[in-house]
Amino acid sequence: MARATRTTSSPSPAAPAGGAAPVIPARGLRKQYGDFHAVQGIDLEVRPGECFGLLGPNGAGKSTAMRMLAGTSQRTGGELRILGIDPEEDGPAVRARLGVVPQQDNLDEDLTARENILIYGRYFGLPYSCLRPKAEELLAFAQLTDKADAKVTDLSGGMKRRLVIARALVNEPALFLLDEPTTGLDPQARHILWDRLYRLKEHADTLQQDLARLVAEGHVTAPVTQLTRRASLEDVFLILTGRTLVD
């Protein structure tokens, strides 16, 4: 059975009691394949700005749970909302707002790194005028500018993983789901990957702080969800690698 791990992001004193509404409330989430119970009732509550992880041995049901959260696999029991939407009622609306990095890379091997990002962006209906600069930005973010015109088959495992992550950001998702993003990578590739994810989190934190400042100065009225302290992905990494699994 998978366990859930979160880096706490305590509401700031400015936030009213009760805190922000969860972006993922799940209760009794279940998945059965025939008679087999792959996920046997997970309760989750992920709030804006939180990093949330699922821990468990092989076969515990982590990927199955992730696919239900990503709106690509139907639950067989329980309640689930993603960003306020039930994925079974409006899967496309949920998927449009998510970035998903599956456990198995699913890049188009016949395309180049840049084309993978462009074509993926087209699935979201984004125009090429937006996608072209976005693709360059994401390739740079993933340190793949030099490989922009290389076919996926010519990329290393670590490069492919970074490309999957970059591609998943093309629609500027409100929620980012990563299933074992560093599996199979050597220490150097793993380090680069966590560095990229850490920067992403920092960027999100900066935006949150700017918004909190504008609210404090009375320029805008924003949801209280924006006023919580953000935890870093490094915290998550330390918990996952340094403590929880050892304890």
Ligand X SMILES: Nc1ncnc2c1ncn2[C@@H]1O[C@H](COP(=O)(O)OP(=O)(O)OP(=O)(O)O)[C@@H](O)[C@H]1O
Residues forming the site for ligand X (CB under 6 A): 2, 33, 36, 38, 56, 58-64, 103
> Of 114 and 160, which has the nearer Cβ to ligand X?
160
Stretch that binds Mg ion, among 100-108, 112-120, 134-142, 162-170 (CB under 5 A): 100-108
Closest of 120, 112, 114, 207 to residue 168, by C-alpha? 120
The whole-angstrom separation of Cα 189 and Cα 153 is: 18
Measure the CA dihedral 167/172/173/177, to 10°: 30
Report the nearest approach of Mg ion to the CB of residue 67 (Å): 9
> Of 76 and 145, which has the nearer Cβ to ligand X?
76
Report the nearest approach of Mg ion to the CB of residue 60 (Å): 8
Cβ neighbors of 139 (< 8 A, separation 6 or more) are 113, 114, 117, 145, 147, 148, 166
Give CA angle at 225 (221, 228), nearest 5°. Answer: 110
* Strand intervals (E) in the chain: 3-6, 24-33, 36-46, 52-55, 77-80, 98-101, 175-178
Q: Which does 61 bind (CB under 5 to 8 A by kind): ligand X, Mg ion, none?
A: ligand X
> Of 9 and 64, which has the nearer Cβ to ligand X?
64
Report the nearest approach of ligand X to the CB of residue 33 (Å): 3
> Of 3 and 219, which has the nearer Cβ to ligand X?
3
The whole-angstrom separation of Cα 180 and Cα 194 is: 12
Report the nearest approach of ligand X to the CB of residue 239 (Å): 17
The whole-angstrom separation of Cα 54 and Cα 212 is: 29
Residue of 40, 103, 143, 145 that binds Mg ion (CB under 5 A): 103
State which of positions 27-86 bind Mg ion (CB under 5 A): 62-63
> Of 54 and 159, which has the nearer Cβ to ligand X?
54
State which of positions 214-233 bind Mg ion (CB under 5 A): none
